[in-house]
Chain A
Amino acid sequence: MSSTLFDNRKSVIHRLNPVTKLIALLAIIVTVFAIPLWWVAGLIIVLVVVPAAVISGSGGRLLSLSLRILLPIMLVLFIVQGLTFPGGKTIIWQWGIIDVTSEGLLFALGIGSRIIVLVLASILLVLTTHPGDLMSALTERGMSPKFAYIISSTLQLIPAFKDRADSILLAQQARGLSLKGNPLRRIKIMLPLLSPLVLGMFTDVEERSTAMEARAFGSTARRTSLIPVADSMVQRIARWLFIVLALAAVATPILLGLL
């Protein structure tokens, strides 16, 4: 049981150092938000994200997960911006009092394309990177183990606590609690169940901190990692290249007077 979305495969993308992928993601995000042109985001999708997804073999899952997130966002974005964009003058479709303007749609396209890149690239990172490897790689590079722990444990413990909530609910249902009725009634019934869950969580946190200290979590020794994180000269160069590209992306609009 874990909330990780990691898609366990052996592709080149999967085998890349997690920090390389993380820096690539950050560079992509910086680029699309720094350059306010929708076709730049489009190019990144076509030339970077789609090939990476195909090579990784996780394209199907990427598509399915992304659609679930992006469809409602895009729908709302295009409807709201298409109809209410304040500078919209060029009406391309009209129905009663509803005016869809091309300025509004272009604005939505600009924002939407960036969100699409952000979501696609982020999900691809999550699908192709084991969270444990990411934490090991970041800890190796000096990230605080306590911070790494917060991220990892969140991924692991939230489903574990959900299981506990389900058990409490089941126990109450076994004693005759009925969850039928309208949503308001259900919320009213569920509220008292929070108390054993929250109190139990406090006890768990205290016990877990004891167990962690017993396993030298408070040690000041330089930490090692059981799982080796692959790296290479090519990747090290690539990481610097991504950083340079991101900086160039920030500088370009200023130099070209786009901002």
Chain B
Amino acid sequence: MIQLDDVSYAYPDTDHFVLSHMNLSIPAGSVTGIVGASGAGKTTLAKILSGFIPHVDGGELSGTVVVDGVTIAEASLADAVSHVGLVIQSPFNQISGAKFTVREELAFGLENLGVPRDEMAVRVAEVADLLGITGLLDRSPYALSGGQQQLVAIASMIIMRTPVLVMDEPTSQLDPGGTRMVFDVMSSLRDSGITLVIFEHKLELLREHADVVHVLADHQLIAHGPSRAMLADPRMEEWGIGSTRFTAAASEARTKKLLPADVELPVSIEDAATVFASFASSKGA
């Protein structure tokens, strides 16, 4: 579904490669998390996956990027965006500025594609219901809080129904409830066959929802693995990504020999509960 072969990229007017000799393979219908420290190149990679590099940002891109069967460098931007959607970091900038209500804002992309009015109305109602923003439909997008704007921004891309959706820190302005809802929506999108690539710092939620996590550091994807194994990897601290409180606590307990050396470190509270239960049963508690 997504295939990157030996991809390197430098922004215009620089000879500094932000990404270097990168390879990546993401199967269709999966949820992939990509983590990396600030400045690691996550946004750049998100733009490469969604075709904005090289079509908009320019610069020097080498290697091959194929998304949903389309070789991005050879396709037009309009063609690329019909295969892959991008939710950018800033919801303020994701909102078009051209529409006066959330309802019209959600329909903006569909209007551009010439989708019939009746179908647009149905899709707007569906996506608003999915993200719990039906009550906001008649409000101005600019009269919303940052979190509400982020939900509208996400909805405005989900409604496009692209087979691949790339999300660059999609929950940065959401409260815990909103964040969980967005991740639940992602799960339901995956169930409907959409391939999701999520650039995110919220490791516990990635553990829960991502099938595979890749680590971006030193201009390359340097490691990947199943979400729990990858996010509990002790090198996550070295890579500047950090770990969850559950991983940190269990790691400390293991160092102090309170936990066996071969225990799989937890990432989320569910993992921690499982580790604790198995430890307790081994001690006959």
**Which of A214, A224, A228 is within 8 Å of B81, CB to CB?**
A214
With contact pairs A210-B56, A211-B93, A216-B112 given, residues A152 and B142 touching in the complex (Cβ less than 8 Å): no
Total interface residues on B, CB under 8 Å, equals 45
A248 CB–B CB distance under 8 Å: no
B279 CB–A CB distance under 8 Å: no
Is the pair B82, A216 in contact by a Cβ cutoff of 8 Å? yes
Query: Could you say which of A72-80, A99-107, A190-198, A201-209 contacts chain B?
Result: A201-209
Is the pair A207, B117 in contact by a Cβ cutoff of 8 Å? no
* C-alpha spacing A77/B56, complex, angstroms: 51
Is the pair B78, A216 in contact by a Cβ cutoff of 8 Å? yes
With contact pairs A207-B88, A212-B96 given, residues A224 and B120 touching in the complex (Cβ less than 8 Å): yes
Is the pair B112, A226 in contact by a Cβ cutoff of 8 Å? no
Is the pair B85, A214 in contact by a Cβ cutoff of 8 Å? yes
A149 CB–B CB distance under 8 Å: yes
Is the pair B116, A157 in contact by a Cβ cutoff of 8 Å? no
SS of B interface (majority)? helix
Is the pair B101, A132 in contact by a Cβ cutoff of 8 Å? yes
Is the pair B98, A156 in contact by a Cβ cutoff of 8 Å? yes
Q: Inside 8 A of B224's CB, which chain A residues have their CB?
A: none
Is the pair A149, B111 in contact by a Cβ cutoff of 8 Å? no
Query: Could you say which of B31-39, B102-110, B185-193, B233-241 contacts chain A?
Result: B102-110
**Which of A2, A216, A226, A227 is within 8 Å of B113, CB to CB?**
A216
Chain B nearest CB, measured from A241 CB (Å): 29
A222 CB–B CB distance under 8 Å: yes
A57 CB–B CB distance under 8 Å: no
Chain A nearest CB, measured from B188 CB (Å): 21
B150 CB–A CB distance under 8 Å: no
Scoring B residues 125 to 164 as 1 if CB is less than 8 Å from chain A, else 0, what string do you get?
0000000000000001011000000000100110010000
Is the pair B100, A156 in contact by a Cβ cutoff of 8 Å? yes
* C-alpha spacing A132/B107, complex, angstroms: 13
B26 CB–A CB distance under 8 Å: no
Considering the complex, give the chain B residue whose CB is closest to the CB of A150.
Answer: B98
A93 CB–B CB distance under 8 Å: no
A184 CB–B CB distance under 8 Å: no
Is the pair B98, A223 in contact by a Cβ cutoff of 8 Å? no
Considering the complex, give the chain B residue whose CB is closest to the CB of A148.
Answer: B98
**Which of A149, A159, A213, A217 is within 8 Å of B52, CB to CB?**
A213
Is the pair A132, B104 in contact by a Cβ cutoff of 8 Å? yes
Is the pair A211, B94 in contact by a Cβ cutoff of 8 Å? yes
**Which of B47, B121, B124, B160 is within 8 Å of A215, CB to CB?**
B160
Most chain-A CB neighbours within 10 Å: which of B52, B56, B97, B142? Answer: B97
A84 CB–B CB distance under 8 Å: no
Q: Inside 8 A of B88's CB, which chain A residues have their CB?
A: 207, 210-211, 214
Known: A153-B97, A210-B88. 12 other contacts (CB 8 A): A132-B100, A135-B98, A148-B98, A152-B99, A204-B92, A211-B88, A211-B93, A211-B153, A214-B81, A215-B108, A215-B109, A215-B112
Q: List 21 A-B contacts (CB under 8 A).
A: A135-B98, A145-B112, A149-B96, A152-B98, A156-B97, A207-B93, A208-B96, A211-B93, A211-B95, A211-B153, A212-B96, A213-B52, A214-B81, A216-B81, A216-B160, A217-B96, A218-B77, A221-B112, A222-B114, A223-B111, A226-B107
**A-B CB proximity, top 9 nearest:** A215-B109, A221-B114, A207-B93, A153-B97, A226-B107, A216-B112, A132-B100, A152-B98, A1-B142
